[in-house]
Amino acid sequence: MNKFRPEANFVQGLSGDFIGKHNLFRMVREFARYSNIDNGYYMEFGIMNGDTAITAYRNLRGYVNHIYGFDTFSGHPEQKKTDQIHPEYAPYFFQGNYAAVSDEFCKKNIAAATLLDSNNIHLFKGEFSNTLQSFEKSQLNDKGFPICILVDCDLYSSAKEVFDFLTDICQTGTWLLIDDYWCYRGDPKLGVRKAFDDWIETNPRIGVSFYCNFNAYSRAYICHEK
Ligand SMILES: C[S@@+](CC[C@H](N)C(=O)[O-])C[C@H]1O[C@@H](n2cnc3c(N)ncnc32)[C@H](O)[C@@H]1O
C-alpha cells in the first residue's frame, strides 16, 4: 500500500467540508440550463479510472453526451526540470503515482456507471506531449459545446501542454476546473497554478472569471472569449 494512502483518505474526508465536485457539477448543470447550452461534451486531462468523469456525467446527463479523457493510464510521467523545484512541497507527485488500472478498465467503469454508449467515451492513452499533438480537433465539430473541462494532471509541465491545447477549444461559458491549484504549498511560482496563470496572461483568446474554490485544492472558473 502506498505510504501516502492514509493521508489521501484524510483529504477525501476533509473535502466534504468544502464545496465538493458533486455540488459543483450540479451548478454546471444549472448554468448550462440557464445559459441555453443543451448538448456538448466533458473533457478530463488526467482521467485515471474515470471516477470523476462518472460524477460529472451523473450530474450533467442530458447536457453532456460525450466524454473525452486523456491519461498515460500508467501514472505520472517522468518529471521535467520545471516539475522538480521543491519536490518536498508535493510529495505525492512522483513518476508512476496515480496509475490507473488500465484504459480499458476506465472505459468500462464509465460505461457501466453511466450507461453512456461506449462509442461516446473517447479515451486517449499516452503522454499529453503525444496525444494532444495528434488529436484531431475537427472531431469536436459535431459534438456540441465544451460544457466542462477538468484539468487534473498535477504537474507544471503536463498542465502547460493542456492549457496550450485548450486555447482554441474553450468558449464563452465553458467551465474550466483546475484540480491542483493550491498544491505546492500554494506557491504561485510552481505547479498547475503557475501553468494556468501564465496561460491566462499570454494566450490571445481566452479569459476566465473565478467562480469558487472546491474540493480543498481546486478552483472553478468560467471562460470567456476575449
Ligand atoms: C490525480 S490523478 C487524476 C485523478 C482523476 N482525475 C480522478 O479524479 O479520479 C493525475 C493523473 O494525471 C495523469 N498525468 C499527469 N501528467 C500526465 C501527462 N503528461 N500525460 C498524461 N497523463 C498525465 C496521471 O497519469 C494521473 O492519472
Q: How far is the CA of 103 from the centre of ligand 1 (A)?
A: 12
Residue 70, strand partner residues: 45, 124
Q: How far is the CA of 141 from the centre of ligand 1 (A)?
A: 26
According to DSSP, the β-strands at 145-151 and 175-178 are parallel
| Pocket-forming residues, ligand 1, beta carbon under 6 Å | 44, 46-48, 51-52, 71-72, 75-77, 98, 100, 127-128, 152-155, 158
10 Å Cβ neighbour count for 4? 13
Which residues in the chain land under pLDDT 70? 1-17
Look at the chain and report how many structural domains it folds into.
1
Determine the residue of 7, 73, 152 to mutate for testing ligand 1's pocket, defined as the one with the most ligand atoms within 8 A of the Cβ atom.
152
CA dist., res. 96 & res. 211, Å (int): 32
CA dist., res. 186 & res. 164, Å (int): 22
10 Å Cβ neighbour count for 53? 27
94: domain CATH number is 3.40.50.150
Q: How far is the CA of 218 from the centre of ligand 1 (A)?
A: 15
C-alpha neighbours within 13 Å on the C-beta side of residue 116: 31
C-alpha cell at 205: 483568446
- At residue 203, the 3 state secondary structure works out as coil
pTM for this one? Answer: 0.94
51: containing domain:
5-225
Q: How far is the CA of 70 from the centre of ligand 1 (A)?
A: 8
Sign of CA dihedral 26, 27, 28, 34: positive
Q: Which protein residue's CA is at the shortest distance from atom 20 of ligand 1?
A: 127
Q: How far is the CA of 35 from the centre of ligand 1 (A)?
A: 30
